[in-house]
Structure formats: C-alpha cells, structure tokens
Structure 1
Amino acid sequence: MHTPASMVTGIVFAPLGLVLVFTAAITPQWREGQARLGGVGRAVGGAKGAELLLLRSDGLWESCLQVAHSELRECWPVSGPYQRDARVRAAQGLVLSSLFLCGAGIVLASIGLRCWTETPLRNVAGAGGLLVALGGVLGLAALGIYTHHLQELGVELASTMSEFQGLNIHKLPSLTLRPAGSLYFGWVGAWVQVLGGVALLFGFRRPQCPSCPKRADTERAEAYEVSY
C-alpha cells in the first residue's frame, strides 16, 4: 500500500481533534469562578453562620454550582440571560457545525484512503480534509467568540438553588469568571482538526517518489519511418 505520510497523519489527527472538541462541548467548564458566602442559613455539617466557598462553572449547555470541600453540587441546563445571549447561541451552533463537518470529513477521508487497495482516492481524501479543516475553523470561531465575551455573558442561578441543601442562596455574590478546562480542550481540539485537515489536503497532490506506482504513459509514442 502506498499511502502518503501526510494522509496518515491527517487521519490520525482528525479523530483526535473531534474527540477533544466533543469533550469540550458536553462538559460544563467553559468558564468558572468562585465566591464566598458568610452566615448562610445552614452550612455543611450543620454549623450555622459558617462561611462557604461556592464554585460556579458554565458550559454551552449546562451550568453547575458546588460548595467547595463537600459533595454538595447541583447542575442544570443553561437558562435565563445566559441561554438567550446571542453569543452563546452562536457558539453552540458553530460547535455543532464543527462536529458535523469533522465527522463527515473523517468518513470521506477513510473512504479515500482505501486501505484495502494499493493506491488511495486522493481527491476523495482531500475533500475529506477540506471538511475537517473547515470544521476546525468553525470550532476556533466558536471558541474565539466565547472567550472574547466571557466576562460579558450573564450569570443565572437555578430556581432550586435557594433550597439547595438548606442553603439560603437568593443572589450570587459578584465573582470574577475565567476560562476553564473545557475551553482549553476545545482550543487544542480545534487546532488539531485544522492540522489534520491540512495534512489530508496534501492528498490532492500526487507524491513524487521511486516506490510509488507509476501509470504507463500510453500517450507517448516514438516516431519512425515506414518503408513502402
């Protein structure tokens, strides 16, 4: 089998990037912050008036609130101003489009590689690489929009949080939100997608190497004289 190294690199990088972006999309750690509460109704372990450290995290589809150093944690689907924010909706749409294009590109590239034959379908593999690279670009666009406006996106508490384990939390104190782990996973995954797609794009170009099979040149013929 004579598969170019660039195509092999691309078919390895593309699924890796897809997994990383998918992991980022489904986890609620795109941004996180913490706030201290003093004198809440009932603290962990029954102590009253104790100061608690709340850990807040938001993703594209889920938000979570946890009391530090305890098992008290609640997650809920994004809602309120955060959910309705056009920038969050844009990031959601771009990430879903990125996953779809990358998945379709991997399928095309796998067909183009044709591991069961001697030579790959270069045009098919290259078209798959184009879709993978485009998916990575859409992922980068979603991450760029979210990161740039991270501090401006709203913060919404679930209605059940005021009764959550007896904690009287009606208003979350001001907190500074910062990028979290899922966002970094997304950045790495999107760039890996772009690199994998670019590597597959080299499949459009026929390699020049002694070991590659060469087609017989049927069009070239030698001119000679014919004697009558």
Structure 2
Amino acid sequence: GLADALGYFSLQPVQVAKGLMIPSLVVTVLGLVVAALGVRCWQEEPHYLLAGISGTILFASGLMSLIPVAWYNHYLSALPAPAANAQEVGYSLVLGYLGSCLELIGGFSLALSLHQSCKECRRTK
C-alpha cells in the first residue's frame, strides 16, 4: 500500500522477477502433482517414467525461480530502494537462492529415475 515514489516496481529486473516467480510456482505445483502420481506412496511399484518427468518439471521450475533471483541480486546495488529495506531484501534473496537450489537438487534427483525407466523398457523388449 506504499506509494512507489522511486519507480522501483517499474524497473526491468523487478518486472522480470515478478513475471517469472508466479509461473515458477505454478510449474512447481504441476511437478509435485506428477511426482505424487509417480513415486511409490500408495502403490506396489513406482512409475519411474512419471517420477522422472516430474523431476524434469521441478528442475525447470527451479531454474525459473533461480534466474530472477540471481538477476535481481546482480542489479541490486543499482536499484533505487531505501536503505531501511536492505535487511528484508537480503533475507528474501537468501530464501530465494535456498529454495531454488533445493528445487534444482530435488528435481535432478527425481529425474535420475528416468534411467530406471529406460532399464525397464529394455527388459520388456
């Protein structure tokens, strides 16, 4: 509800960060739904192909959130913002990096199940 006297929200890094974070969250939810169908929660055997696809989706979502965080961090010193908000921005960047990197690691580890899916395809032939 504060007025944007410095034109902070109209700058390109801020607009890109806002524009990529919402689709990243939507893609994350999609990846989690696919992962819930693919991993072994209520089934005898996991669906390795679905788990691998969900890992790929989650990895892409992690990239979609890491790119705006890194770009925003790169331009942070040039953005016109009051010094009083520097600590909150620092916390947001740390959480953004941490969440993105954890999502990349989790997506990569789920994507490794594509290898098991390929093994199963070769066994059935």
TM over 0.5: yes
Deviation, structure 1 residue 77:
5.0
Measured on the aligned residues, the alpha-carbon RMSD in Å equals 2.7
TM-aligned CA distance change 1:152 to 1:203, over 3 Å: same
Q: 2: CA distance between counterparts of 1:195 and 1:205?
A: 17
TM-score between both structures, scaled by the size of structure 2: 0.81
Provide Cα deviations, 1:34-75, integer angstroms capped at 9, x if missing partner. Answer: xxxxxxxxxxxxxxxxxxxxxxxxxxxxxxxxxxxxxxxxxx
Provide Cα deviations, 1:156-194, integer angstroms capped at 9, x if missing partner. Answer: xxxxxxxxxxxxxxxx7x789575112101111100000
Extract unaligned runs of 5+ from structure 2: none
Query: Would the aligned equivalents of 1:133 and 1:193 in 2 still touch at CA under 8 Å?
Result: yes
Aligned to 1:137: 63
1:146 corresponds to which letter in structure 2?
A: Y
TM-aligned CA distance change 1:91 to 1:110, over 3 Å: same
Deviating beyond 4 angstroms after TM superposition, the runs of 4 or more aligned structure 1 residues are 174-179
TM-aligned CA distance change 1:204 to 1:102, over 3 Å: same
Larger Rg: 1
Number of equivalent positions: 119
Q: 2: CA distance between counterparts of 1:78 and 1:188?
A: 30
2:4 corresponds to which letter in structure 1?
A: S
Provide Cα deviations, 1:59-118, integer angstroms capped at 9, x if missing partner. Answer: xxxxxxxxxxxxxxxxx3573511111110101111112211111101101101142222
Aligned to 1:187: 97
Deviation, structure 1 residue 199:
0.6
Query: Would the aligned equivalents of 1:125 and 1:200 in 2 still touch at CA under 8 Å?
Result: yes
Percent pairwise identity: 28
Q: 1: CA distance between counterparts of 2:45 and 2:24?
A: 29
Structure whose residues are more often strand by fraction: 1
Match of 1:180, SS state, is helix
Q: 2: CA distance between counterparts of 1:78 and 1:92?
A: 18
Structure whose residues are more often helix by fraction: 2
2:115 corresponds to which letter in structure 1?
A: R
